[in-house]
Structure 1
Amino acid sequence: MSGVRHASSPVLVGRSAELGALASAIARPPSIVMLEGEAGVGKTRLVTELLGLPEMARRLVFAGYCQPLGEPFPYGVVLEALRHAGRHLKNKPPLSPLSGALRPYLPELADFLPEQPAPLGDPRAERHQLFRAFRELISSLGALVLIIEDLHWADDGSRRLLRFLMADPPRNLSLLLTYRREEVPGGIPVGSSYRPATGSASVLIELRPLDADGVKHLATALLGDRAISAEFATRLHERTAGIPFVVEETLNALDHTETLHAGLLESVEVPVLLREAMVERLIKLPLTARRLTEAAAVLGVPATDTVLADTAGLDAGRARRALVAALEKHVLFEAGDCRYGFRHTLAQQAVYGTISGPTRQQLHRRAVRALLGQSPPPLVQLAGHSRKAGESADAIRYAEAAAQRAAEVGDLATATDLLRGLLDEPALEPSDVDRLAGRLSAIAFDGLSIREVIATLQRLLGDRRLSRRLRGEVRLSLGLLLMRYSGGVEAGRAETELAVNDLGHRPDLEARGIAMLALPWAGTTPLPVHLPWMRRVDELIAGATDRLVLLTLMASNVPSWLHIGDGRAWALARRVPGTIGSAGEQRQLARMHCNLADACAWIGHHDRAGSLLHSGMQLATSCGAPYVVSTARATRAHVDWLTGHWDGLTARTLRLLDEYQDLLPVASELSLVLGSLAVARGEWDRAAGHFAETGIAQPQNAIAPVVLAAHAGVVRMLLAQQDAEAAALEADRGLEVARGKGVWAWAGELVVMAVDAYCQTGRASDAQALTDELERGLAGCDAPAGYAALAEAQGILALCRGESTAAEYLTDARQRYERLPAPYLAALAGERLARAGEPEASELTSLAAAFDELGATRDAARCRHAVRATGAITPSRRGRRGYGDELSPRERDVARLLAEGNTNREIAEVLFLSRRTVEQHVASVLRKLKVHSRDELQRA
C-alpha cells in the first residue's frame, strides 16, 4: 500500500453503512467512488479502515495527496501515486512504445519504460497520447485501487487526466476520490460533469457528521473507561457539530484529571488546527463579509440577516452581498428559518478570538441595540452582550429578569445557570449577593444541576458579603442537595441540622429542613432518631395555615410514615387540599404523589404505586419539576421490575441511568433494577457491577431500602453460583444495616435470601432467629411485601427441617406475591413449592415458561434442567416450529451471552446445558448471523 497515510483517530464510529458501500464498490472494478465530506468529518479515517479489510490485502493500492497552494505541476497527484509502480512491473510483459510518453514525468520507472516517442507537434494530441500511456501503465498493474485524497486542491491537469480515466476506466481499476465539496472550484469535483462508462460502477458516498449517539460512542472509545453522561455527550455534540476531528481535538484538550461534566467543555480552548483553518477562511473573504462574520461570532447564536447587518454596522444591500459571500465560502451556514451562524461552537469561538478588544466591545453594544427591537426581548442574550460590552448594571438587570422569567415558566435549569453566573460577578454589592443567593436557594432544590449548584452554594458560605440572615437559607439548600448527591448523605444531614438552627426568621424553610431530617430512608441513621423529627413535622402540618407549606411538609412526611409501614399515612394523605392555586403548590402535590408511589413500591402496594406514578408524572411535567420527574422515572423502572414488565426495561433503565447518574436516589435505584435483571439472566459480572453502584459499600451515604435490596440481590447471585458460604457472609453484612436502621418493611427479600443461605450452611438456628425477628418487626405494619417474604422464609426454614408445613407456607407466599403483584417472586416461590415434594415435570415446565415470558433466562434454564432430571420424556420435535435462518429462543439466549463475552463453559453454566450442546448452539448462531467468530459478533 504505497504512500498511504493513516488517520489519527483510533476508532471508527457510526460509519458501518458507508464502509460497506465503499468496500462493495471497490470490490467490483472498474469502479469510481466519490467520497464527499467536510474537513474533519472522517474521510481519511474511513479510507484507512477500508485498507485494513482482509480482502484489500489482495489488491495493489496507490495513493496520491493534493496539497493546498502547491507549486504548479501538471498531473502531479497522479504521478505521486504511480511513482512506486516500478517494483510491481517486474516480471510483467514489456509496455508498448506508447508508454514512453511517461518518461519525462516518471523517471523512477525509467527501467521499465521504452524510449520517449517523437513529438507530435500538437499539444492536444500529445496530451491525449500521454493520457493513453497512463491508462496502459495502470492496466498493466493488475487489481489496483488508486486513491486520490483532497481532490478539491488538485491542479487542472490532474482533473483532466482523472476525467479521461473515469470516462473509460481500465477494467482492473478502482478509483477512489475524496474531497470537500465546499472547496471544490465551481462545485464540480473533477472540473466538469462526466457520465460513468457503461459497465463500470459509480458510487457517491456523502460522509455526514455524527449524531449525538455517534458522538457519545466516539467519546467513549477515545476516553476509555471514563464515564460519559448524556448531558456531557449532548453538549459535546452541540459544540463540535458531530465532526469527528473536532470531537477528538476537543477531548484531547480536556484536563484528564477532572471528572467529566458538561461544564468542563466550556473551558476548552479552540484546537490550534481548527483555529488556523478558520483564520485562513476569514482572510479569503471580502472585507464586508469578514465584518459580517465577526458580527455572527459576537452574536454567538444563529441570527437573521437584519440582526447581523445591524450588529456589523452594514446597510441592507452590502450586508446581503456579504452574507452570500460568507455562505458560499462555507464560513457561515444557514441554520434554518432564515437564520445564519457557524457550523459549530468552536468555529464561532475561533473567529471571536480574532477580533480585537475594542472592536468586540463595540460589536456587543450594537448587538444589544439590535436585539432590543425583538419581541419578546431575548433577555439571556442581552445580559451576555451587556456584560461583554462593559455595562455591568444592565447585565445584572437583564440576567435577573431572565432568571425570573425562566423560573416562572418552569425552566429551572436556565434560571439556576443564570443566577450562578450572576453570583460569580466580583463587583456585586452585598445586597445583590443576598437577593440573588435567596433566589438561587429558592429554586435549586427543584432542579437537576446538582454538582454545579453545590459548588456555588459552598463558595457563597465562604463569601463575606453574604449576610448572616441569608446564610441559613444557603446552608439549607446545600444540605438538601448534598443528600441527593453521591457520597453526600451524611454531610447533607449535618448541613441541614446546622441550617435549621439559623432559620428562626423563616419558619417555612425551618419546617422544610426538619422534614428532610425526618426522612427515614437516608443513610444508616436509626429509625428511633428519625421518629422525633417525623412527629415534629406532623405537629407543623397540624398547625400549617399556608397551603404551600402544608403541601411541602406532607409531600415529605406522609410517604415517610408509609415507608416504615405505618398505615395511618393513608388517612394523612386525605388531608391534601382539593384545589391547587399555584405552580409551586402543584410541584409539591406532584412530589407527594411520586414519593407515595416510591413508598408503595418498597412495601408492596404495587398497583397503587402505578396509579400514583401516573398522576404524579402528569402533575410534575405540566408544572416544570424536573427532579420530581427523575424520581418518578426511576420508580417506574423499579415498579416495572417488580410487576414483571421487563420487555425493553434494561435498555430504558440504562438510558435513564446515563441521564441521571449524578442523582443518588435516582441512580442507585436504577442500578438496583439493572443488577436484579442481570441476576435473573445469569449475567454475573454485569450484576456485580450494577449492585456496586447502589451504594452498598457505603450505606451511610446511600438509600437504605436500595442497599438492603442490593444485598439481597448479591446473596441471590452467590447462591445461584453455589457459593453458600459467601452468600451467608453477604447476608450478615446486609442484616447489620437492616438491624441498625430498624425498618423491617424493607427487609423482606433480604431475610428470604439470608434464611436460604443460612439453611444451606448449617445455620438453621440463625435462620429461625432471623425469621422470628422479621415477624416481630412487621407486627402491625402495612407491608404486604414483607408478609409475603415472611411466609416464604418460614417455608424455606420448614423445608430445611423436613417439616410438612413447608408447602402451606410456600403456597401462602406465592399467593401473596401474586396479589402484590410480583410475578417473578411468585414464580420463585412456586419453584420452591414444586421442589418441596416430588416435582412434577408439567409443573416445572409451566414455571420455565413463566420465567421465559418474563425474560428470566437463568431461572427458566434451571427449571428445564430440573425437568430433564426427573427423567420425563421430552416431547417429540415433530410438529414443532422450524426456525430456519431465524434464531430459536435458546439460540437467542446463547447469542446474547456470546455478545457479552461469555465463554462456552460460562454459557453452559448459566443455561444448565452441556458443553457439547452449547458448542452446537454457538456454531448455529454464528452461521445464522453470518459472522465468522465470536469476536465479530461482539463487535457487531
Structure 2
Amino acid sequence: MGIVNGALANGKTALVQAFAEHAAESGAAVLSATASTELAFPLGVVEQLFQECEKCDDDIARTIESYVGPAPPTGAHDDAPGRVGQVTVSLLRTLSEALLDLAGRQPVIIVVDDASLADVPSLQCLLHLVRRLRSSALMLVLVERDNGPMLPRRFQAELLRLLNYRQITLGALSPTGVAAWLESTLGTPVEHAFTAAAQELTGGNPLLLSAVIDDQRSSRGRPGAGHAYMRAMLDLLYRGGVTLSRVADALAVLGDPASISLLSRSTDTDEAAAARAVEVMGAAGLLTDSGRFRHGAMRRAILDGMAPDARRGLHARAARLLHEDGAAPSAVAAHVLASDDIPQWSIPVLHLAARQAMTEGDTDSAIDYLRRAYDACSDAGQRAALAALLISAQWPKNPAAAVHVYLPELFSALQDGLLKQEHSVQTFNHLLWHGRTAEVATTMGAENGRMPNLDDTDLWLPYVYPGLFEGVRGDRAERPSASLAGSTVPVWAPQRQAATAMGEMLRGMGSEESLAKAEQLLLGTRLSDITLLPTTAALVTMLWGGRLDTVASWCDMVLRDPAITRMPMWQAIFTCVRGTVHYLRGELADAERCTRGALTLVSPECWGVAVGMPLAFLVLAATAMGKYELARIYLHTHVPDAMFQTLCGPYYLSARGQFHLSVGRYGAALSDFLACGEALTRWGFDNPEILPWRSQAAQAYLCVGDADRAGVLVRDQLDLVRPDQTRAHAATLRLHAASHEGEKKANLLRKAASYFERSGDALELAYTLADLSHAHTALGLHDQADTAARQALQLADQCGAVPLKTALLATITQSAPMLPSAFTACDSEKLAALSNAERRVALLAAQGFANREIADELFITVSTVEQHLTRVYRKLSVKRRSELEARFRTSVLVRND
C-alpha cells in the first residue's frame, strides 16, 4: 500500500504510470482510475477499476449498477454520521472478493490518481480491501491531488495502521537532477551556465523545465521565459484550484512578498488556505524562497490574464488594506493609481508619496501621484499645496509648462493666505524665475497680514534679483548686506553659506575664505530642488574666483550621473556653467557646444529670467569665432524684461555690446556697456573681476575716437581692481597699454600677458600677444614681433578665433611690420567669409604677385586665379588690387570680454 504526493506537476502521475507499465510488463494486472471528475458519482472510481479488469465476473458490473443510493453532495469527504451506511456489506464483500480472487491468479496493482477527490463509497470499498491486503498479491497505489482536499481522516488513520504502508513525497529536482534531466532530454551534455539558468527559472519543476526547453529550441538561445514557459506557469495555477489562483492574483497585484494576513484579507480566504496556497506555489517552483514570483514575466502574465475590473478591484482593496496596516505611502499610492479610483482618504497619502519620490529623485512617479491627487481634490488649501508640489516636481523637466498650468491658481491661493510657509516660498521662487515681478511686488508689499515669512527668499533677492529687491525693499536696497545680516536662516545652512560667499564676491570683498565656503558647499551638499540655488551660486562664486578646474570637475561629475538626464532643466543649468568654463579658458567651440546645448535641452522660455546667461556666453563664443550670423540669431531670442533686474541682465548687455563692437556698431556697443555699468554700480556690485564694463566701454570710446573718456574709465578701473584679481588686472593693463607708446606699452602688455597666462584664458592671451606684436613692430623689434604674432596665431587656432587667426595669418605671410590701424570687426567678418583658396590668392595678390606668378605658386591656372580674385573683390568690397594690401596689413587693436 502506498500514497504518492508532492508539489504541483512534480511528476507524480508520470512516476506511477511508469511503475504501472513496468508491473504490467512483469505480468501484473493493472487497474487504474482517475477521481478528478468523479466526485458526484457513487462508486465512480470502483466502476473505472472494474472496467479495466477483463478477468472479473460480469456480475460485478450488475452489482455496481444495482447499488442504489443518493449521490453524495459536494464536500463528501466529511466524516458525517450515517455516510458509511450508504455502502452495503454485501456490495463490499462482492467487490473485494472479486479483486482478491483476481489477485489469487496474478499480482494486482490498483492505481487511483487524484485519490483525495474520490467518492466516499469508492473509498469505503478501497478501505475494506486495504484491511485484507496482508494475505494477497495486491497493491494499492493512491496519488494525491495537487493542492486538493486531503483524504478523509478515518481513511488516513486506517492506512497508518498498516505495516506495509509507504508514503512517497516527490520534491523538486535538485541542480544535479536538473542537469541530468536536461542532458537526457536534449541528448547532449549541457553547460553549467545553461543548467543554472534553467534551475533559476523553474526551481526544478519538470513541467516548467519542459517549457523552458521548448522555448529554447524555438529561440536557439539561453533559457528564458517564453510563450511555452508562460503557458506552463498558468497551467500550474489552474491545476492548483480556485483558491490558489485567487492568492496568485493577489500576489501579482501586490507585487512584493506579502504577509499571509494581507493575502488572506485580499482574497477573502482564511489564513490557513492562503498559507497553503503560498506553500504550494513555492514547492511548484513558481515562487522563490523570499515569496516573489520566480520570474517577472509570471507576474505580468497573471496580471494580463485578469479581467480589468477584477484587477482594479484588487488594487483598490490592496491600497485600503496596506493603508490600514501602516504601509509606506509609496506602496499605497501605487495601488491607488492602479485602481483608477482616488478616494478622498488617499489624497494625503498620494501627497506624502510624491514627497518621498521627489526625495529619491523619482520625479515621474511624483508627478503622477500629484496630478491624480490634484484632479480629485476638492479642498482649496490642499489643492493649492498639491499645485505647489506639482510645479516643484515638474520644474526640472519643463518649468514653463508647469507654471502655465498651476502658477495662476497658486498666486491666488497666496493672496488668500491658503499656502503654508514652504509653499509660499516655492511660489515666490517660481514667480521670480519666470519674471512675474508685478505679482511679486504686489504681494511683498501687501499689508493684509497674511504674508508668511519669506526670509529664505529675502536672503537671495539682493544678489540674484537686485533690481526687484531695490524696488520692493526701498532703502534696504542700498545695503544688500543688511538682508544677510538680519536673516534668520542659520549660518550653517547651505543657503546662508552660499549667499554669504556670493555677496562678498559681488561687492569686491571676496577672499580665499569666500571661495572656501563655496567649495565646502559643493563638496558637502547633496543636490536637490532645495539646494539647487545655493549650489549654482557656489559654482558661480568659484567661477568669479578663478577656480575653473574645480567648477569643471564638479560639473563633469554631475553631468555623468544618469539621474541628471531625467531632469533636463538641471542638466541645462550645469551644462551652461560648463560652457562658461570653456569660454573663460578660450575653448570657443566647446563653449558654443555647451551653451547651445543648454538652450536645446530646454526651451528659452523654460529658462525664465536666467536665459540671459546661456545667451550671453553663446553670443560671446560665436562672436569670437566669427560666427556673427549665429550671434545675431540668438540675440533675436525673446528675453523677459525682468531679466534686466537680475544679475543675468548685465552679462547679457556685456555680450550684446561685444557683438556690436565686433561688427562696427560702436554707438550701440557703448550704450550696452554703459547700461551694464550703471546697473552694477547702482546695485553695489561694481567689481571688475565680475564684469570689467569700464574696459569694455573704454574700448568702444577708442573706436569712436574719444581717447579722453576711454582714459578716464581705464584709470577708474585701475583704482578699483586688486592685484589678486588676475583676469580684471590683466584686462585693465592691456587696455591701459592702448594709451601708451614705445617700451611702456610693451611692458604693460607683457605684464597683461603674464596675468592672462596665469588665469588660463588662452583667448585673451592671444589678443594680448597680437597687441604685443604690434608694439614690438612700432619699436622696430621685428623678430620679437614675429614671435609674438606666431604665438598669438597658435593660440587663436587652438581657440577657434577665426577673425584673429585671419588677421594674424595675413601679417605673418607678409612678414612685414603691422600698421597701427584698428582692425574692425567688419573687416574680420569679410575676411572670414573668404574660402581658403580665395584667401591664399588674395594674400599673394596683396603682396604684389602677378596673376601668372600666383598661378605658378599655387599650381592652378591663371583663369582660376582671376575667378578667385573676382570673388575676393566682391566679398571685401574693393575695386582694385592696391586696396587688398590695406585690408591684409591690419592688426587687432584692443579687445576685451
Please report the TM-score for the alignment, with normalisation by the length of structure 2. 0.49
Please report the TM-score for the alignment, with normalisation by the length of structure 1. 0.47
Which structure has the larger Rg over C-alpha atoms? 2
